[in-house]
């Protein structure tokens, strides 16, 4: 029985972030641990609602009121088990998820203060490590069937763990030199220190998952070879085709880059430095892409843009502007537009925004300005209005509103256009749809030339969230288990058609 008055006695509180002047001198995570007392207090605010709308917000179906109450009563071991029953990697989602569960929490109705679900989650996940580590789970007797997982992001790893625990022989193929997908070299350490990935990978390896890094499927091994080696294949290759702006004058100038080029280069030097000071970030061909001493302009308003902002400040940028096409969102939910419990359009201040830089809303780049040597020296912007007509986005510049911002480094963080065009697709006979994603049938199989080729994560959904990647990985694993005539069923939290909560 939960505490019926908890939310009346306690306000929503989060642990203080590390001070800005300290944290921008290193790459460590922004949040310190909250401490058991604060977390117990916050978990006490949960009302254990008869209809827990937080469940509806979470594609994993996390048993949120259950583990809130277990934390309240101090039964941390049971809380750890309850959390792991629905989520393979709560240390990732607890740190990184934007928490649609909190947007759907009943305590948030009418502008109230939702339970700090995500903070409780990460504390339980870290308690699992502190209370004896991530021990391997028992694995079922070998089934004699084998599965190839292509891609080691959260979708591929969640599927691999589920299938290995069910007794199948699982091999994960990853073209990069390290495992983790976007969590490894896309997301900076100040959001997710890589020890969390390494710890989880050790658990998967101990449960029997085999890893092959540096293997680009479609190039180093063909689809045909993979099919011959394995009884089923799961494609979990992500949605890494960055959107570009080739029509903008000056796009070809030196210093104008895709945001992911900047993030990957920066995260690689941090990984290589260990505890030492990272070297300047460079592209694989040696071209510098470091923000040190530079005026940086980041184009885009999402996660990727905020990550570039945090990296630019840690690299010692002279100044940063972050440009957004859309007007500044409201501070609080507009109930007419986004009624509770849907995900609201509100101003999201990431920790990186506390660290400096100027956000400029409702502007569009008209030109990248040449310094006369082929290097960018500025960005000419105009104020704009944006409207949707017949499903198309119409951007209209305001006459006379143009101005120039200084820029030595410009980073395009304007979204992704689905999964990359790469040889693997043609070899499996898999097509990209109009969104650049790969369609799945209700049983998670693709329309590949042969049976037994499944898809999950961003490759299926388009650029999305870690929580959706894990949910799809678990569901695809359940479908593969059934395809291989495995005993019993595995949990399938979502089907391929499932969408986030939305007002109809
Ligand atoms: C900069 C950035 C920040 C983000 N921040 C957040 C956040 O804070 N919170 C959040 O919830 N989500 C965030 N996201 C989104 C989240 O990272 C993705 O939704 C998630 O990683 C998708 O998981 P996935 O397993 O489908 O694919 P990915 O993580 O993209 O992994 C796909 C893997 O497949 C590999 N691969 C591709 N082709 C082949 C091949 N032919 N052979 C072998 N391997 C191959 C790739 O190298 C990659 O490692 C962020 C995304 C970006 C870009
Ligand atoms: S909706 Fe909020 S208060 Fe209700 S059970 Fe979920 S977390 Fe607890």
Which regions in the chain score pLDDT beneath 50? none
Give 250-310 as a DSSP string. Answer: TTTSBTEEEHHHHHHHHHHHHHHHTTS-----B-TTS-B---TT-EEEEE--SHHHHHHHH
Q: Whose CA is nearest to atom 2 of ligand 2?
A: 105
Ligand nearest to the CA of 43: 2
Q: Whose CA is nearest to atom 4 of ligand 2?
A: 49
In ligand 1, which atom is closest to the CA atom of 468? 19
307 Cβ below 6 A of ligand 1: yes
pLDDT of residue 239: 98
- Report yes or no: 411 and 308 within 8 Å, Cβ to Cβ: yes
155 Cβ below 6 A of ligand 1: yes
97 Cβ below 6 A of ligand 1: yes
Measured in degrees and rounded to the nearest 5, phi and psi for residue 227 equal: -65, -35
In ligand 1, which atom is closest to the CA atom of 180? 49
Burial annotation 394-429 (CB, 10 A radius, 16+ → b, else e) = eeeeeeeeeeebbbbbbbbbbbbbbbbebebbebbe
Strand partners, 232: 147
- Best mutation site among 153, 213, 262 for ligand 1 pocket (most ligand atoms within 8 Å of CB): 153
pLDDT of residue 277: 85
- Considering only CA atoms, which of 477, 498, 502 is closest in space to residue 488? 477
Q: Whose CA is nearest to atom 25 of ligand 1?
A: 153
Ligand nearest to the CA of 426: 1
Please state, in angstroms and as integers, the Cα–Cα distance from residue 38 to each residue in 43, 120, 387, following that order: 9, 10, 44
Overall size of the chain counted in residues: 504
pTM: 0.97
238 Cβ below 6 A of ligand 1: yes
| Residue 110: how many other CB atoms lie within 10 Å | 8
Give 171-206 as a DSSP string. Answer: EEEESSSSSSTHHHHTS-TTTS-THHHHHHHHHHHH
- Best mutation site among 47, 119, 120 for ligand 2 pocket (most ligand atoms within 8 Å of CB): 47
Task: Give per-residue pLDDT as tens, 130-182.
Answer: 988 899 999 999 999 999 999 999 999 999 999 999 999 999 999 999 999 99
Q: Whose CA is nearest to atom 1 of ligand 2?
A: 105
106 Cβ below 6 A of ligand 2: yes
How many angstroms separate the CA atoms of 501 and 55, rounded?
Answer: 11
48 Cβ below 6 A of ligand 2: yes
CA of 153 relative to ligand 1 center, distance in Å:
5
Give the β-pairing of 403-406 and 232-235.
unpaired
| Residue 504: how many other CB atoms lie within 10 Å | 3
CA of 263 relative to ligand 1 center, distance in Å:
13
341 Cβ below 6 A of ligand 2: no
CA of 461 relative to ligand 2 center, distance in Å:
27
In ligand 1, which atom is closest to the CA atom of 467? 11
CA of 495 relative to ligand 2 center, distance in Å:
24
Q: How buried is 477 (Cβ within 10 angstroms: 0-12 exposed, 13-18 middle, 19+ buried)?
A: buried
Helix axes 466-483, 154-165, angle to 10 degrees: 40
- Best mutation site among 88, 303, 412 for ligand 1 pocket (most ligand atoms within 8 Å of CB): 303
pLDDT of residue 504: 65
For the chain, give the mean pLDDT: 96
424 Cβ below 6 A of ligand 1: yes
Give the β-pairing of 358-360 and 319-323.
parallel
- Which run of H or of E encompasses 67? helix 64-72
How many angstroms separate the CA atoms of 112 and 249, rounded?
Answer: 47
């Amino acid at each position: 029985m939960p505490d019926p008055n908890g939310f009346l006695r306690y306000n929503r509180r989060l642990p203080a972030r590390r001070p800005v002047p300290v944290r921008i001198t290193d790459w460590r995570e922004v949040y310190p641990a909250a401490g058991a007392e604060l977390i117990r207090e916050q978990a006490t605010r949960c009302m254990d609602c008869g209809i827990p709308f937080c469940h509806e917000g979470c594609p994993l179906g996390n048993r949120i009121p259950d583990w809130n109450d277990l934390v309240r009563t101090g039964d941390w071991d049971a809380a750890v088990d309850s959390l792991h029953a629905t989520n393979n990697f709560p240390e990732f989602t607890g740190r990184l998820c934007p928490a649609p569960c909190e947007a759907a929490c009943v305590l948030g109705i009418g502008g109230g203060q939702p339970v700090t679900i995500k903070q409780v989650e990460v504390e339980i996940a870290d308690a699992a490590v502190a209370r004896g580590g991530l021990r391997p789970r028992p694995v079922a007797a070998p089934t004699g069937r084998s599965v190839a997982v292509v891609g080691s992001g959260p979708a591929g790893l969640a599927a691999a763990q589920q299938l290995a625990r069910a007794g199948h022989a699982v091999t994960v193929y990853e073209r990069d030199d390290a495992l983790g997908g976007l969590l490894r070299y896309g997301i900076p350490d100040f959001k997710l220190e890589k020890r969390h990935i390494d710890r989880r990978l050790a658990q998967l390896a101990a449960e029997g998952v085999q890893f092959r890094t540096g293997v680009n499927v479609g190039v180093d091994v063909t689809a045909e070879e993979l099919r011959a080696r394995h009884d089923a294949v799961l494609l979990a290759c992500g949605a890494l085709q960055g959107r570009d702006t080739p029509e903008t004058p000056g796009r070809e100038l030196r210093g104008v880059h895709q945001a992911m080029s900047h993030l990957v280069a920066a995260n690689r030097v941090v990984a290589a430095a260990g505890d030492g000071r990272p070297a300047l970030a460079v592209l694989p061909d040696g071209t510098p892409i470091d923000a040190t001493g530079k005026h940086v302009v980041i184009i885009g308003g999402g996660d990727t843009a905020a990550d570039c902002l945090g990296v630019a400040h840690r690299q010692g940028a002279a100044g940063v502007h972050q440009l957004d096409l859309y007007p500044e969102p409201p501070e609080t939910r507009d109930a007419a537009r986004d009624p509770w419990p849907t995900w609201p359009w509100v101003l999201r201040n990431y920790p990186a925004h506390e660290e400096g830089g100027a956000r400029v809303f409702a502007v569009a780049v008209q030109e990248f300005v040449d310094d006369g040597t082929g290097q960018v020296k500025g960005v000419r912007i105009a104020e704009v209005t944006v409207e949707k007509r017949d499903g198309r986005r119409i951007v209209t510049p305001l006459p006379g509103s143009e101005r120039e911002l200084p820029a030595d480094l410009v980073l395009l963080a304007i979204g992704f256009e689905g999964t990359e065009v790469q040889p693997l697709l043609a070899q499996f006979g898999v097509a990209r749809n109009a969104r650049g994603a790969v369609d799945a049938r209700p049983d998670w199989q693709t329309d590949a030339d042969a049976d037994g080729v499944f898809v999950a994560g961003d490759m299926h959904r388009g650029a999305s969230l870690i929580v959706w990647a894990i949910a799809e990985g678990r569901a695809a694993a359940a479908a593969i288990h059934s395809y291989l005539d495995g005993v019993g069923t595995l949990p399938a939290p979502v089907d391929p058609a499932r969408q986030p909560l939305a007002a109809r």
